[in-house]
């Protein structure tokens, strides 16, 4: 007897069925100079990202640059998790009270990070009380006790009003001595992004606690240290790929980890990387990027090119998601900074592709992907193609959702006939849409125990020459 019934999907050979309709959900883990930490934030545009996380103004912040690449290349839905190290801190201002009493009220930015240093505070006298104004950019909040003649006459009342109404700061009451007025706008200080000492477990903890059970099909973790490496290293890729594979095998939640090589990485070094798997895509080379803050030219490693590829994949129907000859929207590519070499030549492209590295270059006068491939060891496997893997994942999701409705039903010929009819109906609709060219009748049989059912499906995708089979076990 099975006390916790579930649908188990096991792939026996290569397979394919329903392609994604595009607009795949992606996830990104990174650092920023503002915004919530250890929380999933869903953004549907680059403006959404800027509104929450602000610009990447530091050398160790990655979210905004990575998201910019994703949305510029057609991505539409991005789930972002901001992580930080132990040094992260909120910007603050400590107000002086009557009699020069120090820190009677601590005003803290709503979020951790250096962007909070752009906050300003002004404290004015009004009658016997005080009025406090908080400013961030063009946004100004004024706390004047609803226009009362004396403003706020106690620190407690002022703090309560700020904590109940401000979207910019919080306030902590430390002493009742009434705050002293300021001579003008005074800046907050001491914010810290918490981005200089990110380690591998910072990302894996965020993955386990926040993204494991979220719905997404593409994962990006752009490099947080442009003067050092973590997220673009082989060891880190192996760790994250293990998480991705465990999520797929244990929780039936499928995804692909898209990353990239380090700056100036040679072809030989890239080929020697050991992280291999159908759920890992390694991109090359690196990219040029102009800072949105000061206009300076930045040189970003391949993990940001990976964000561009994730955006392109997210925007495409899986039948066209091989990425081959699809454009890549970046300012330019860079293979070797010291010599200024921008592009791989034809021979070098073939060398990289033969090693399972997804390459972008100047092809026929434009920046394009040479071929959309995974990092699987067996290059003869159909899982070598990204689009095949995405269609497989789509199949698993559709079949699981369909067969979940039969959990708890008797394992009888009538039930199995109904399951067969439903799955054949899905295949027929898929064939009518042109996503597959043919399929064989679904076979539903009792499994090795009375509590299991095996569902065997064979289909021929529009871009494949052979029938591909899958067996689903319902228990």
Boundaries of every domain in the chain: 25-85+196-315+324-371, 90-187, 394-474
Distance CA 420, CA 319 (A): 25
Distant-in-sequence, close-in-space partners of 346: CB < 8 Å, separation ≥ 6: none
Give me the CATH code for the 394-474 domain, please: 3.30.360.90
Residue 52 pLDDT: 96
Q: Which of 284, 279, 327 minimizes the C-alpha distance to 304?
A: 284
Q: Which parts of 73-227 fold into alpha helices (H)?
A: 155-165, 200-206
Q: Which CATH number fits domain 25-85+196-315+324-371: 3.20.20.70, 1.10.357.20, 3.40.50.11780, 3.30.465.10?
A: 3.40.50.11780
Which residues, in sequence order, are bridge partners of residue 97?
101, 179
Residue 227 pLDDT: 59
Contact 279, 302 (CB under 8 A): no
Distance CA 65, CA 289 (A): 9
Element (H, E) at 454: strand 453-461
Residue 165 pLDDT: 97
Distance CA 344, CA 446 (A): 54
Q: Which of 385, 381, 73 minimizes the C-alpha distance to 256?
A: 385
Residue 71 phi, psi dihedral angles, 5° rounding: -75, -30
Give me the tens of pLDDT residue by residue for the chain, a chain 475 residues long: 333 334 444 433 333 333 334 458 999 999 999 999 999 999 999 999 999 999 887 778 999 999 999 999 999 999 999 999 999 999 999 999 999 999 999 999 999 999 999 999 999 999 999 999 999 999 999 999 999 999 999 999 999 999 999 999 999 999 999 999 999 999 999 999 999 999 999 999 999 999 999 999 999 999 997 556 899 999 999 999 999 999 998 888 999 999 999 999 999 999 999 999 999 999 999 999 998 888 888 899 999 999 999 999 998 865 554 455 689 999 999 999 999 999 999 999 999 999 999 999 999 899 999 999 999 999 888 788 887 788 777 777 777 788 788 888 888 999 889 988 988 887 787 777 666 677 788 888 888 888 888 888 776 655 554 565 666 666 5
Residue 10 pLDDT: 41
Q: Which CATH number fits domain 90-187: 3.40.1190.20, 2.60.40.4290, 2.30.60.10, 1.20.140.10?
A: 2.60.40.4290
Residue 195 pLDDT: 94
Residue 223 pLDDT: 95
Distance CA 108, CA 103 (A): 12
SS3 68: helix
Contact 168, 110 (CB under 8 A): yes
Distance CA 353, CA 386 (A): 13
SS3 11: coil
Q: Which of 404, 430, 436 minimizes the C-alpha distance to 419?
A: 404
Residue 396 pLDDT: 73
Query: Given the structure tokens 């898929």, which residue do they identify?
Result: 430
Query: Given the structure tokens 């795949």, which residue do they identify?
Result: 24
| Nearest-10 Cα torsion for 23, 25, 31, 33 | 60
Concatenate the DSSP letters of all residues of 260-325 into one string: EPPTT--HHHHHT----BTTEEEEE-EEEEE-TTT--EEEE-HHHHHHHHHHHHHHS-GGGTT-TT
Q: Give Cα separations from 329 to 159, 257, 292 (angstroms).
A: 48, 20, 16
Residue 459 pLDDT: 67
Contact 325, 344 (CB under 8 A): no
Contact 67, 28 (CB under 8 A): yes
Rounded to 5, what percent of the chain is helix, strand, coil? Answer: 30, 30, 40
Q: What is the DSSP letter of 336?
A: B
Contact 315, 76 (CB under 8 A): yes
SS3 371: coil
Tokens of 464: 């494949």
């Amino acid at each position: 007897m099975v006390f916790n019934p579930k649908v188990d999907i096991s792939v026996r050979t290569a397979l394919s069925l329903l392609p994604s309709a595009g607009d795949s959900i992606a996830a990104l883990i990174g650092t920023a100079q503002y915004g919530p930490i250890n929380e999933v934030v869903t953004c549907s545009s680059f403006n959404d990202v800027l509104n929450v996380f602000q610009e990447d103004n530091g050398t160790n912040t990655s979210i905004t640059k990575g998201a910019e690449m994703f949305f510029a290349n057609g991505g539409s839905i991005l789930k972002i998790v901001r992580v930080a190290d132990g040094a992260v801190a909120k910007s603050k201002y400590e107000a002086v009270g009557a009699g020069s009493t120090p820190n009677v009220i601590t005003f803290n930015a709503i979020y951790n990070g250096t962007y909070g240093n752009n906050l300003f505070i002004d404290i004015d006298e009004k009658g016997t009380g005080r009025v406090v104004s908080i400013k961030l950019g063009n946004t100004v909040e004024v706390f004047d006790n609803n226009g009362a003649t004396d403003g706020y006459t106690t620190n407690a009342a002022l703090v309560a009003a700020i904590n109940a109404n401000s979207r910019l700061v919080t306030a902590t009451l430390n002493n009742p001595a009434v705050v002293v007025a300021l001579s003008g706008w005074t800046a907050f200080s001491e914010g810290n992004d918490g981005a200089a000492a990110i380690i591998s477990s910072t990302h894996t903890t965020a993955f386990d606690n926040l993204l494991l059970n979220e719905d997404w099909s593409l994962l990006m973790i752009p490099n947080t240290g442009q003067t050092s490496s973590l997220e673009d290293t082989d060891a880190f890729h192996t760790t994250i790929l293990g998480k991705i594979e465990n999520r797929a095998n244990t929780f039936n939640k499928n995804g692909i980890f898209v990353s990239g090589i380090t700056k100036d990485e040679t072809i030989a070094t890239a080929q020697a990387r050991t992280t291999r798997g159908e759920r890992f895509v390694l991109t090359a080379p690196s990219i040029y990027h102009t800072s949105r803050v000061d206009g300076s030219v930045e040189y970003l490693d391949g993990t940001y090119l990976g964000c561009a590829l994730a955006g392109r994949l997210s925007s495409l129907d899986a039948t066209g998601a091989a990425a081959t000859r699809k454009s890549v929207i970046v300012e330019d590519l860079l293979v070797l900074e010291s010599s200024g070499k921008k592009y791989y030549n034809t021979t070098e492209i073939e060398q990289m592709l033969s090693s399972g590295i997804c390459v972008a270059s100047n092809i026929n006068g434009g920046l394009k992907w040479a071929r959309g491939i995974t990092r699987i060891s067996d290059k003869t496997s159909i899982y070598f193609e990204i689009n095949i893997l995405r269609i497989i994942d789509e199949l698993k999701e559709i079949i699981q959702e369909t067969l979940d409705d039969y959990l708890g039903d008797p394992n009888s010929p009538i039930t199995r006939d109904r399951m067969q009819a439903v799955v054949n109906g899905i295949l027929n609709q898929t064939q009518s849409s042109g996503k597959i060219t043919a399929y064989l009748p679904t076979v539903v049989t009792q499994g090795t125990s009375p509590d299991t059912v095996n569902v065997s499906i064979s289909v021929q995708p529009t871009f494949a020459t052979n029938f591909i089979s899958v067996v689903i076990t319902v228990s």
